[in-house]
């Protein structure tokens, strides 16, 4: 079962199994497949759209993508098929547009089913804040809702825009472009800083700009750039962990604090560890086997 969206939830019902046989190297293999059909329920648990589809997405902008017999279309909340089952794939509507596929090419339709952007791309993602990520001839770029390539398909990899900037990659080096497609920060940084998989208690290593700063790595040391690409915190730290208003840094096996407001050092790297607490205004610190606390202005409180 999917979560409720716009008052309805996708549900599936198991109807049984089917068998098919394949032959390989002179042997016959019997494959068993589950038969599941999908429909929608309301918040009272009533089935309001019949269990009949081979797949179904949650409702978005009043419509849901459904499929039967490997063809996709869209229904409304009354269960009426308002965009026929014409497509080889159809994603949910976002910002008035839905990504669809004909054969091996992707394009976009509007809520009336009109193909506004022809199916010419090798891949495409939904619109976010007026832009959609597309791939053509193995390269990535962005289009607007008129189909204009705002950022040409020249990059090896991209992410979404945040704070009016988008990370882009060429030749294994990363930089940033703005909404005009201008490469504001040239592709010069290593890839590993752009993956938001690391966590430090309640802190995150962000994959894009956050509060006007972006973590970078140069010569195996970390620092920060601002939205103009200026290195406002020098790449001298072994590790960096972002919190909402301060940055925990590690240098020569010791930890300290930087201010996000000023980009200046609050406390030098003198602690053996720094960790978050349930009190947002305090961090726990350890130094020479002594445990204490520090606030985000640098004032220290040591346990007796």
Q: So what's the pLDDT on residue 229?
A: 75
Answer for the pair 302, 290: CB distance below 8 angstroms, yes or no: yes
Domain residue limits at 65: 1-122
Q: So what's the pLDDT on residue 232?
A: 83
CB neighbour list of residue 275: distance below 8 Å, 6 or more residues apart: 201, 283, 284
**Rounded to 5 degrees, what are φ and ψ at 197?**
-110, -20
Q: Is the dihedral of CA 247, 250, 251, 256 positive or negative?
A: positive
Q: So what's the pLDDT on residue 81?
A: 97
Mean pLDDT, rounded, for 64-91 = 97
Task: Classify residue 226: in a domain, yes or no.
Answer: no
Q: What are the pLDDT digits (tens) for 173-222?
A: 888 898 889 988 888 776 544 444 333 323 333 456 667 777 777 778 88
Answer for the pair 161, 128: CB distance below 8 angstroms, yes or no: yes
Task: Classify residue 115: in a domain, yes or no.
Answer: yes
41: pLDDT strictly greater than 50:
yes
Count up the domains in the chain and report the number.
Answer: 1
Mean pLDDT, rounded, for 134-159 = 94
CA pair distance 116, 145, nearest whole angstrom: 8
Q: So what's the pLDDT on residue 87?
A: 98
Task: Classify residue 45: in a domain, yes or no.
Answer: yes
Answer for the pair 176, 229: CB distance below 8 angstroms, yes or no: yes
CA pair distance 127, 108, nearest whole angstrom: 10
30 pLDDT tier (thresholds 50, 70, 90): low
Q: Which residues partner with 73 through β-bridges?
A: 66
The first and second tokens of residue 128, run together, are 């976010």
In 3-state terms, what secondary structure has residue 214?
A: strand
Mean pLDDT, rounded, for 268-289 = 89
Q: So what's the pLDDT on residue 242?
A: 76
In terms of pLDDT, which residue wins out, 76 or 225? Answer: 76
Task: Classify residue 53: in a domain, yes or no.
Answer: yes
* Angle (nearest 5°) at CA 39 between 36 and 101: 80
In terms of pLDDT, which residue wins out, 119 or 233? Answer: 119
In whole numbers, what is the pLDDT of the chain averaged over residues?
86
Across 21-35, 94-108, 272-286, the highest mean pLDDT is recorded for 94-108
152 pLDDT tier (thresholds 50, 70, 90): very high
Task: Classify residue 147: in a domain, yes or no.
Answer: no
102 pLDDT tier (thresholds 50, 70, 90): very high
Task: Classify residue 204: in a domain, yes or no.
Answer: no
CA terminus-to-terminus distance, the chain: 54
Task: Classify residue 80: in a domain, yes or no.
Answer: yes
162: pLDDT strictly greater than 80:
no
Task: Classify residue 100: in a domain, yes or no.
Answer: yes
């Amino acid at each position: 079962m999917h979560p409720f969206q716009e008052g309805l939830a996708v549900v599936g019902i198991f109807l049984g199994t089917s068998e098919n046989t394949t032959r390989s190297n002179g042997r016959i293999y019997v494959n068993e497949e589950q038969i599941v059909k999908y429909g929608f329920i309301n918040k009272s648990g009533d089935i309001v759209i019949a269990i009949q589809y081979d797949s179904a997405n949650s409702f978005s902008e009043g419509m849901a993508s459904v499929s039967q017999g490997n063809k996709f279309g869209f229904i409304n909340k009354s269960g009426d098929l308002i965009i026929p089952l014409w497509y080889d794939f159809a994603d949910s509507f976002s910002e008035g547009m839905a990504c669809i596929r004909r054969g091996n090419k992707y394009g976009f339709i509007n809520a009336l089913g009109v193909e506004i952007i022809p199916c010419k791309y090798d891949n495409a993602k939904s619109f976010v804040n007026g832009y959609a990520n597309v791939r053509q001839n193995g390269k990535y770029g962005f289009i607007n809702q008129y189909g204009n390539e705002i950022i040409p398909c020249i990059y090896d990899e991209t992410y979404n825009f945040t704070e009016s900037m988008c990370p882009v990659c060429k030749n294994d080096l990363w930089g940033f472009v703005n909404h005009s497609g201008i490469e504001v920060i040239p592709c010069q940084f290593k890839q590993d800083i752009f993956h938001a998989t690391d966590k430090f208690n309640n802190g995150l290593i962000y994959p894009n700009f956050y509060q006007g700063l972006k973590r970078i790595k140069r010569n195996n040391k970390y620092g920060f750039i601002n939205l103009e690409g200026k290195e406002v915190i020098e790449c001298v730290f072994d590790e960096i962990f972002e919190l909402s208003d301060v940055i925990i840094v590690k240098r020569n096996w010791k930890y300290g604090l930087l201010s996000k407001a000023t980009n200046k050092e609050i406390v030098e790297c003198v602690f053996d560890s720094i960790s978050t607490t349930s009190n947002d205004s305090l961090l726990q610190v350890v130094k020479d086997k002594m445990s204490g606390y520090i606030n985000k202005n640098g004032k220290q409180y040591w346990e007796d």
